[in-house]
Amino acid sequence: MPPLATTEIACQLIGGRLQSVGVERCLRAGVQMADGASAHGVPLLYRDYPPTSRRTTPKRVLMLGGIHGDELSSVSIVFQWMEHLAMSRFQPFHWRVYPCVNPDGLLIRPPTRVNANGVDLNRNFPTRDWQTDALAYWETRTGRDPRRFPGPHALSEPETRWLVREIQTFKPDVIVSVHAPFGVLDFDGPREPPERFGFLHLHQLGTYPGSLGNFAGMNIGVPVITLELPHAGIMPSAQQQQRIWADMLAWLEKNLQEEAPLYFRLEDHPWNGAR
């Protein structure tokens, strides 16, 4: 489905929904429309931040907010950190930032965890165990909880199809995904996990069929840092935000080594083009 809105209209929708962002801040963030859209055709907005300090081959960081539409703080804090990136004079990474991956879930009132098709996007990624385990897990472990429906098949949703292709083309060295409201730091994939970012302490929650941490971190070897803010509707204090950000930058600088992650070829995936 082609996007139903321009960047300006998308900022009016998202900024109008989030007082902590606002329309003008969204516009000033310099976001662009990606080549993907939500199930309802709302553009998926992003911005690239090239490195501002010299490095032969800059490492790539993909940051995502709002995979679950009712985790409003995860969108707001990413917009805050985009301002840090815009003003940074000495940062060595190439960042690609998508502040709101599930705009349909965010914009509906009340906001929902799932997308417009009623699918939990963070259970819809094509993990190796999706076909055998995802629906069975949903039925037996969640009691068919509609907030955690993984979809009729992996990659059934336009948002997840687009994000998997984005991972394949951008080739991030690490993915940072912001959620709420568990108030912990989670980590999946290779490399030693960080012990804490600010007041968020490491507590690995495990992987689930169809989750981003399972797909990227465990299946294709791209580390996934999940920041679980403590409140879905309340932002951390400015001091807490800054401490999380500073600790994350320090960990990235120390741990992004020269080895590149092993990427699978999307065209070889069993779900590609099959449905």
Tell me what pLDDT residue 151 has. Answer: 98
Tell me what pLDDT residue 52 has. Answer: 86
- Compute CA distances 35 → 152, 182, 252, 274, whole Å: 24, 32, 28, 21
- Indicate whether 207 belongs to any domain: yes
Tell me what pLDDT residue 178 has. Answer: 98
| Measured distance CA(137)–CA(140) in Å, rounded | 5
Is the pLDDT at 275 greater than 50? The verdict is no
Give the helix, strand, coil percentages of the chain, each rounded to 5: 35, 15, 50
The number of domains in the chain is: 1
Q: What would you measure as the largest C-alpha separation in the chain, in angstroms? A: 52
What are residue 98's DSSP bridge partners? 64
| Measured distance CA(105)–CA(120) in Å, rounded | 10
For residue 107, what is the enclosing H or E element? Answer: helix 103-107
- Indicate whether 104 belongs to any domain: no
Is the pLDDT at 201 greater than 50? The verdict is yes
Is the pLDDT at 266 greater than 90? The verdict is no
Q: Is 178:232 a contact under the CB 8 Å cutoff?
A: no
Is the pLDDT at 122 greater than 70? The verdict is yes
- Indicate whether 29 belongs to any domain: no
Share of the chain above pLDDT 70, in %: 91
Could you list the residue range(s) of the whole structural domain that residue 133 is in?
Answer: 34-79+126-230
- Indicate whether 264 belongs to any domain: no
Is the pLDDT at 155 greater than 80? The verdict is yes
Instruction: Tell me the average pLDDT across 6-24.
Output: 93
pTM higher than 0.75 for the full model? yes
Instruction: Tell me the average pLDDT across 49-66.
Output: 89
Is the pLDDT at 48 greater than 70? The verdict is yes
Q: What is the CATH number of the domain that holds 203?
A: 3.40.630.10
Token pair for 213: 């941490």
- Indicate whether 209 belongs to any domain: yes
- Indicate whether 43 belongs to any domain: yes
Is the pLDDT at 272 greater than 70? The verdict is no
- Indicate whether 14 belongs to any domain: no
- Indicate whether 67 belongs to any domain: yes
